[in-house]
Amino acid sequence: MQKVFETMKVELKKITPQLIAIFIALLVGSIVLLATGFSPVEAYGALVIGAFGDIYGVGQTLTQATPIIFTALAFLFAFKAGLFNIGAEGQFLVGALAGAIVGISFSGLPTIIHIPLALLAGAFFGGLYAFIPAILKTKFGAHEVITTMMLTYVAIYLTGYMVTDIFKAPGWVSQTPLISPTAELPRILPPTQLSASLLIGIFLVFLTYYTLQKTVLGYEIRAIGFNSLAAENGGINVKKGLILSLVISGALAGIGGAGEILGVHRRFIDGFSPGYGWDGLAVALIGGLNPFGSFLAAILIGVLRSGGMTMNRVTGVPIDIVTILQALVILFVAAPVFIKHLIRRGKKYD
């Protein structure tokens, strides 16, 4: 028992900066609320009740968290190799479209084949889309921050074009037809939209942890991220490692996109992602760049989003306070020295 508490203490210490960042963000958020004539107690209260109060709230919270789990894993996987994949949004969209196309193209396939096929298509095309910046980085030295960002916009417009033209369903909305029922991921908490995509996400959290910590590939990727020169000298093929980590990163985002289509929307609608890829970056950072931490951080964002809707309905606080809170957490997490500064100050007063 003693041992369990000790490990818990160690683990908690690791995420202390994140917890402090969340706390300060909520504090600054209260100031914003007070300054604009709202009661923070009422607002946050409504938010918590909205997120956990009933089955709809819980379902909505987890539904909102699901796609971000994938994009957070995507960001962190590349980050372990020292790469900044800020283009998870693009890979997510490409994977989503691939999943949708497989979903609508076959009918009569057994579900047990159709769903994995659509998810694999998402992973494959998401990975392929990340292969472009990987090659540009390793062969031409183009910085992945800019290339992945530019490719995200290319993906937004190209997927938009595909669903307003080639794969468009009849009608005036830019969307594909509905996928075949055989490709639908089951909803696991009816009547909410929560789908089995969440379970795939949880599985991938463990798989990502295992791959990074317990396999040779994971070791090599972390070695490259830690010091690529030393890794090279140690006989690790750095280029291969960089390419693989970025492709796997893209594949993770791609599965997330496909899962979102198969489970929630059941068709690709132009502009369906409110920026899950960008959220992934934020969530991975809030989660301390750890798969389990990212999972918890994704849930936190889910709570804010789903509770935010209730808060908006009940108290009239604009829903955008949630975005503000999210940004504040990122900014405080971005400045680790600031948090350390605070911790040191706090210790002085102990």
Question: Is 178 near other proteins (CB under 8 A)?
Answer: no
Whole-angstrom Cα distance, residue 195 to residue 67? 11
Nearer to other proteins, 109 or 150 (CB): 150
Whole-angstrom Cα distance, residue 208 to residue 59? 25
Q: How far is the CB of 268 from other proteins (least distance, A)?
A: 14
Nearer to other proteins, 262 or 281 (CB): 281
Which of positions 215-254 make contact with other proteins (CB under 8 A)? none
93 CB contacts (<8 Å, ≥6 apart)? 152, 155, 156, 159, 257, 273, 277
Question: Is 333 near other proteins (CB under 8 A)?
Answer: yes
Nearest-5° Cα angle at 34, 33 to 40: 60
Nearer to other proteins, 86 or 198 (CB): 86
Nearer to other proteins, 32 or 120 (CB): 32
Tallying the residues shown for the chain, one arrives at 350
Q: How far is the CB of 30 from other proteins (least distance, A)?
A: 14
Site string for other proteins, 76-115 (x = CB under 8 A): --------x-x-----------------------------
Tokens of 2: 């003693």
Whole-angstrom Cα distance, residue 291 to residue 142? 28
Whole-angstrom Cα distance, residue 78 to residue 103? 28
Asked if 65 and 302 count as a contact pair (C-beta separation under 8 A), the reply is: yes
For residue 175, the cross-strand partners are 269
Residue from the set 230, 336, 343, 346 that interacts with other proteins by CB under 8 A: 336
DSSP 8-state code for residue 182: G
Q: How far is the CB of 258 from other proteins (least distance, A)?
A: 22
Nearer to other proteins, 101 or 285 (CB): 285
Nearer to other proteins, 141 or 235 (CB): 141
Helix (H, G, I), strand (E, B) or coil at 269: strand
Q: How far is the CB of 60 from other proteins (least distance, A)?
A: 20
Nearer to other proteins, 60 or 147 (CB): 147
Helix (H) or strand (E) holding 265: none
Instruction: Count other C-beta atoms under 10 Å from residue 342's C-beta.
Output: 15
Residue from the set 179, 244, 285, 309 that interacts with other proteins by CB under 8 A: 285
Which of positions 141-170 make contact with other proteins (CB under 8 A)? 141-143, 145-147, 149-151, 153-154, 157-158, 160-161, 164-165
Which of positions 21-40 make contact with other proteins (CB under 8 A)? 32, 36
Question: Is 16 near other proteins (CB under 8 A)?
Answer: no
Spatial CA neighbour of 79 closest among 207, 275, 221:
221
Instruction: Count other C-beta atoms under 10 Å from residue 330's C-beta.
Output: 17
Number of residues this chain uses to bind other proteins (CB under 8 A): 47
Distances (CA, A) of 74 to 119, 182, 248, 250, 266: 15, 27, 7, 6, 23
Helix (H) or strand (E) holding 194: none
Nearer to other proteins, 140 or 172 (CB): 140
Question: Is 74 near other proteins (CB under 8 A)?
Answer: no
Nearer to other proteins, 179 or 317 (CB): 317
Is the peptide bond preceding residue 190 cis, with omega within 30 degrees of 0?
A: no
* First CA to last CA distance, the chain: 28
Contact positions vs other proteins (CB under 8 A):
32, 36, 84, 86, 136, 140-143, 145-147, 149-151, 153-154, 157-158, 160-161, 164-165, 278, 281-282, 285, 318-328, 330-331, 333-338, 341
